[in-house]
Structures are given as structure tokens and as C-alpha cells.
Chain A
Amino acid sequence: MSDDRYASAPEVAGEVIDGEAIVINLETGIYYSLDRAGALIWELLTSGYDAAETAEMLASAYGVPVERTRDDTVGLAGELVREGLLLARTDGSRDLKPVVLAEPARSYETPRLERYADMGDLFALDPPTPGLADIPWRLPDRSAEDG
């Protein structure tokens, strides 16, 4: 199955910068993060590379055996599909986007998908506060007590 190809799901927004990926499922409001090898796998899979190509590029970038990166790539791709972030591609077309492989800053570690399902609750705890702009701000008097 390692020649499977994927695309990010339509309701998903992901971005990779400096070896860090943040992915948002805009439909569920769940946020995800990936770093290092995981971010690179996300970037390669969503740029049109299949799982085998991704594993090879990962192995080459980190200098580790391809058997290891293949297992990790397939495992992570499966997790991303289960989370609804990636869709398996069934068409035969190839629209590869170039990906620049930077020198990894750290040694290879098995990628981990972090899932943050509580972002909506965290907003609900601290909702917007209208009306503040009209206040002539002064600080509370704090000279009454010595620190």
C-alpha cells in the first residue's frame, strides 16, 4: 500500500513552516500539529508524492533506513485519513509540487500527530468582550500596599 497517494480533504487547511505543521479541520474545529518528520510527511503527501516516495525522501533526508520511514509514513498517513485530514486519491493524474528538503535540525524520531479537540471550549471560556473601547482607561491605584 506504500504507493498510495493522498490529498488534503477540502475542509482542511494545513501549513508547514520551518519544520512545523499546523492543520485545522475547519468542519470539526479540531486543530492538529506535527513537527519534524511528521511535518515533512504531511508536506510531501499533500504535494502529490506517494507514500513510497515520501518514505524514501524522508530516509534520505534523515539518513535512516527506508524500512523505518516506510512504516512510519504508512502509519501516519492512515492516522491522517482516519482523522479526515487526508483523502486517498484514486485518479491517475500527477501534479507534483516541489518540496525543498532542508537539513533536519534533529535526529529522526517517529512522527506524532498531536490532536487538540478543545479549541472551541477554550474560546468559550474566554469570549469576546465588547464595549471596552469606550472606557477612559486608568490603572487601579496600587500605592496602598507595598509589594
Chain B
Amino acid sequence: MKFDSFAFISFCALAVASLRLVKPGMLRLLLVVMLNFVFVASFFDSLRQALPLAGFVMAGYAAVVLSSRIGASLPLIGVVILIFAWLKRYDFLAFLPPLHFLYVVVGLSYILFRVLHLVIDVGQKAIPRPGFISYLAYVLFFPTFVSGPIQRYEDFDGQVSSPVAPGTTHELYMACQRIIRGMALIGFVTVLTHFLFERIQLRFYGALAASTFSFSTFALLCAAASLFAVHLYLNFGGYMDIVIGVGRLAGLALPENFNRPYLSRNFLEFWSRWHITLSEWFKFYLFNPLLRLMAQKWRAPSQMPYLAVLGFFVTFTVMGIWHGSTRIFLAYGLILGSGISLNKLYQVQMTAWLGKKGYKVLAGRSWYGHLCRGLTLAYFALSIVCLWIDASHAQVLSRFRGMALVFIAFAALSALTAVLSFAIERLTARLSNVPPWMPSLSDRVLPAWTAIQIFLVAVAIFSVDSNSPEFVYKVF
């Protein structure tokens, strides 16, 4: 079921109405499970295709039950991860025989996060073991099934088990406005960005084949990397708008996944603003336990910052590898891990050289902020080249001349983004400086903008329904 389709809008209308009408209790949980099944079933052409996913969900519940009895043991967590990696056909498990039929793994990665959260927290007695119906309602919850956000079980259960607040007219309007914005982004704006990106990507491949190191290769790499970063943000952000808006209409508050990531001034801050629930999950279940383990082993306080550097490296490398089963995603993980640990190391060294106060003064300077923002966003845009480049072209970039090209593109994109950041800040300051008697910009613009978005959604649904590209994060 595509998010910008008539079927999805109809399904959501029915789901929201029924969730609002049915009182909390077993009947409501069964309703959620039924809605989940209808939504999930729309991604499969046959029952056979769904068997691996169904099997993983059942194995996940068995692991949750087992952990409630024996505790959250590492072997148990390892077995769940191994089944996931085997179904996703990770390279390192290539020696294991595959399933000899075609199957679909949509949503599997996010089911893994929910299952591991339950296995660990139920095993540590931090939350009670959910019943089977509650478990199905949670792990397959239809708004968050495809790509999150990763909601915590206690948060989900608390909301589904409580009476729905009626919500003010303004809140319901804002929820609808958000769904419309998301649909306009998914169904129209990112159709355009995807169209443009594909053309630049093809030209970049052509230029790379002709010469690894030329001005056109450099310019096309910068353009493709920047455009894909913008496309990914609009695409993922649009998806989140729809998911969170539908949740709010149904009276359920889902966690936000983005908080204006383009404002970030360092890599650590970026990951607290981008795909927030994924970063939080990794913080809870990998970074924190790992750092705790290392800190208990090496107790000297002076070593803590360096242990954090190592902790960040491991965490972000694993996060990168989670995105895909091939070697290119291992490279993506290592690039993310290196970026964030170098960033942390830089902060530690600068604090040592300038002192806490001196570093704070430097970080407060406007030019320094724009420069850091440029470096952060350029590094991110170039690291996610791993998400779109194919293996043969990635191999060309990994050679010496290719790496040199990437470094020059990084320097140029950083400088360009820093200048753009400065220009936008100046322009925003000028625009916000309107006389008090004039209505604010958002009051004037929001209704008109909403009307334009409704038009775009209508165009998307009734004319180019089948042309919209797949939601980017659906494949991870």
C-alpha cells in the first residue's frame, strides 16, 4: 500500500474512525491487530511471501517469553539477530543455505528493533511481558510498520490502553495539515527530486567512467550527493508527517523522528536530530551498555572521553551495517563511525588545548558555527553516497583518485554549505523583522500553502499515482 494512494487514505480514514469509536481493552487491541494484518498483507502477493516475516515475528515472541524466564542473555539476543541477518541475506552468512522461494522482508528491520527492545527490557524486568495480542499490536503497528518511528512498548501500551482524548479542532486541523504536507512531499515534491537525482546520477556514472578525476565528475558528484541528501530528508520527513499525523488523528502520539537536522553544528548533534528514534535505540541498547562495560574495566576518569570515542565508533559502524547486507554498507558504517569518533576526538582535543571556557567562546562564534554546519552536512551528504551508488562505481571511488575526488568534493561542499547557512540566517533575520501591525508570515502563508499542498496531493493521487518512487527507507 503506497502512502500517496487512494487505498491508503481510505484505509487510514477507516482505521482512525474505528480506533476512536472502540473503547480501550481487549476489543481495541484486537482491532489494532486486525488493522495491522490488513495493512501488512497489502505488501505481499501471496501467503508464502509473508511466511519468513511471520516466522520472525513468532520467533521474536518466543524470545520475549524465554527472556522473561531466563533473563536477557546475550546468546538469546544473538540468535534473534542471526535469524534476522539470515532472512536479510547478509554477506557474512552466505555459507548458510537460503530459503528457496521469493519472499518480502518489508518492515523486518524495524520489527527487529522492537523485538530486541522487548527481549532486553522484559528480561531485565524493566517492563512486564506483553501478552501475545499486545505483542502483535505493537510489533506490527500499522503506522510505524514500514520504517518506524521506533516507539517504546510502554509508551505504545499506555496510549492504546487509555481512553482517547477528543482533541481540539486546532489539533485535528494540524494533524490533517501534517498528513497533507507529508503526502505532497511523498507524492509530488520527492517525485521531482527523485527524477532530477536519477538524471544527475546517470550523468555522474557516465563522467566517472570517462575520467575519475575531472571537473565534471567533481561537479556531478557534489550535485548528486547534495540532491540525494535533500531528497532523502524530504522523502523520510514526508513519510513521518503522514505517520505521525495519522497517529494524532487516531489520538495516539508517536515519537518525532526529525528535529531540523540541517541546523546541526556537529555530527553528534546531527544524530540527535536525524532519525532520532533509531539513534535513541542504539544509545539505549548498544552505546550505553558498551560504554558502561568499558568504564567498569578502565576506571580512570581521564580515559572516559577516549572510551566514548571508541563507543561512538562501534555504535555508528553497527548502525551503518544495519542499513544493508552488502560490503558497501560495511563501508557506510565505517564512514559514519569514523566521522562521529573523529568529531568527538576533536572536541576532546580542543577542550584540552583551549580549556572549557576557551572552546565555549570559539563554539559561540557565528563564523565557526556556519563552518561546522557546513562540514557536518557535507560529511553526511557524502557518506550517504553509499546508499545510492552501485558496487562497480563505488569501487572506482574507493581507489586513490576516487578518494581524492571525494575529499575535494567534501571541502567544496563544506564551504558552499557554510556560505549558504550564513546567507539563510541573514535572510531569515531580515524576513522575521516585520512591523508589529502586519500579520506574521506563517499566518498569511499557511492557509495558502495548505491549499497548494491539497492540490499537489490530488494531482499525485489521481494522475501520477503509480509514478511516485518507493519510500527510500522501506528497503532498509
Tell me if chain B binds chain A. no
Q: Which residues of B contact A (CB under 8 A)?
A: none
